[in-house]
């Protein structure tokens, strides 16, 4: 199987390139972003993946794996680790928003590991006003999420992970808006992850570690912020597929390359004509399971227009959709992440990465750089985000800071089968 690792990496890179090329043909597609409630649940919390284009699903195990890929904890080299991360958020728009993240794991045996995390998102101070612009109150909205996880080895190279999480979002503080009372949104969700890990891989004459991972994240209930409303919104359920290869160049130098594909498992909004009639796509007000399945084949595509710019109707009264535009839009919903990490003597790391999102799905395009230092049981990581689509991007100049501490004795955990 070793001889196929290079082929797998080349194939995934080729697929990623073609997704990018397909998504670049966006002149036919209109802006049609997929929005969710509690989007903070899908914001990268740590500096290591934050310096590698958010390609964190197939990275080696750390305390932050509880967010990316809990099944990776089964292959952790250290017996336990705890970490804390801090990110000043959207500093292009405001100065008091931030994300704080506390996480850790412990290996119970050769096959079993547990982990947990707490995320807190402060939206800063907000002034609420009435329709006349009069100040009604000051508030500090916030959101938080608690996660507990368990990882189990199915074989020496295959592992599965399961998370349970509870999320709470209080954006209005119970404020009455237009005679309608509001309330916090509460969600329960789960993550399921799988990892294939081969630490005896080889590309050509280069030894290394190959990892394939896939995760299903935030599979949970729909939420709303009003007790009087029947309209409920999806949380950011998503699916990730990732590959990485860490090449061991010599005793002191190694370099890891990661590529990852991410897709929201949330229905795409349909298109409506000028009278409010659905013109293309599918109704996105559906249940959780139906929404997940529908997310793979519900892109409305682009409506065909005549020379006068009017939408063209078929003989049965339905609207004509441009050929292949539905497939192009479905492919454009896949985000692509790539990352590179170089370590010298397991003491100093340099990272870079790139994140790509199609223009008609949000247009997030940014590069990342980062550094890491590790001494004995202590590690620090810093990353910086450079927005590709201009300084006007609210994500531009985002900094992330992470501290990690290894706990326990540096010895391999005994096999629980012995």
Architecture of domain 2-268+333-407: Beta Barrel (2.40)
Residue boundaries of the structural domains of the chain? 2-268+333-407
Q: What is the pLDDT along the chain (418 residues), one digit of tens a residue?
A: 444 444 444 444 544 455 445 444 445 788 899 999 999 999 999 999 999 999 999 999 999 999 999 999 999 999 999 999 999 998 888 888 999 999 999 999 999 999 999 999 999 888 777 777 777 777 889 999 999 999 999 999 999 999 999 999 998 877 776 677 888 999 999 999 999 999 999 888 889 999 999 999 999 999 998 877 778 999 999 999 999 999 999 989 999 999 999 999 999 999 988 888 899 999 999 999 999 999 999 999 998 888 888 888 888 888 999 999 999 999 999 999 999 999 999 999 999 999 999 999 988 999 999 999 999 899 999 999 998 875 567 888 899 999 999 998 654 444 443 3
Distance set, CA 356 to CA 12, 76, 138, 144, 215 (Å): 15, 29, 37, 27, 19
The residue among 401, 414, 402, 407 whose CA lies nearest residue 115 is 407
């Amino acid at each position: 199987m070793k001889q196929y690792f290079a082929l797998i990496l080349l194939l995934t890179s080729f697929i990623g390139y073609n997704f990018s090329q397909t998504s670049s043909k966006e002149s036919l597609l209109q802006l049609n972003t997929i929005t969710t409630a509690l989007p903070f649940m899908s914001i990268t919390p740590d500096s290591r993946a934050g310096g590698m284009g958010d390609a964190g699903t197939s990275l080696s195990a750390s305390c932050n794996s509880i967010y990316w890929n809990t099944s990776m904890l089964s292959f952790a080299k250290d017996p336990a680790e705890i970490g804390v991360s801090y990110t000043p958020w959207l500093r292009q728009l405001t100065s008091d928003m931030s994300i704080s993240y506390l996480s850790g794991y412990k290996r119970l045996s050769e096959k079993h590991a547990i982990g947990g995390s707490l995320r807190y998102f402060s939206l800063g101070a907000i002034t609420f006003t009435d329709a006349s612009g009069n100040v009604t109150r000051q508030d500090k909205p916030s959101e938080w999420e608690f996660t507990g996880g368990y990882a189990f080895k199915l074989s020496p190279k295959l592992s599965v992970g399961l998370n349970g999480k509870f999320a709470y979002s209080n954006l209005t503080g119970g404020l009455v808006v237009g005679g309608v009372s509001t309330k916090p949104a509460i969600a329960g969700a789960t993550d399921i992850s799988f990892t294939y890990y081969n630490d005896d891989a080889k590309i050509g004459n280069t030894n290394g570690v190959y990892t394939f991972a896939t995760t299903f994240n935030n599979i949970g209930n729909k939420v709303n912020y009003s007790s009087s409303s029947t309209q409920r919104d999806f949380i950011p359920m998503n699916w990730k597929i990732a590959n990485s290869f860490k090449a061991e160049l010599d005793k002191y130098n190694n370099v890891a390359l990661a590529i990852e594909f991410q897709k929201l498992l949330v229905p795409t909004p349909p298109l409506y004509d000028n009278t409010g009639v659905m013109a293309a796509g599918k109704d996105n007000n559906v249940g959780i399971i139906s929404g997940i399945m529908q997310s793979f084949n519900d892109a409305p595509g682009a409506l065909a227009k005549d020379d006068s710019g009017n939408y063209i109707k078929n003989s049965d009264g339905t609207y004509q959709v441009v050929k292949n535009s539905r497939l192009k839009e479905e492919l454009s919903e896949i985000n692509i992440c790539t990352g590179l990490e170089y370590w010298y003597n397991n003491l100093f790391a340099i990272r870079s990465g790139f994140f790509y999102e199609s223009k008609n799905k949000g247009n997030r395009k940014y590069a990342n750089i980062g550094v890491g230092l590790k001494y004995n049981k202590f590690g620090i990581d810093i990353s910086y985000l450079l927005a590709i689509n201009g300084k006007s991007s609210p994500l531009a100049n985002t900094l992330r800071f992470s501290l990690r501490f290894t706990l326990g004795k540096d010895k391999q955990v005994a096999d629980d089968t012995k």
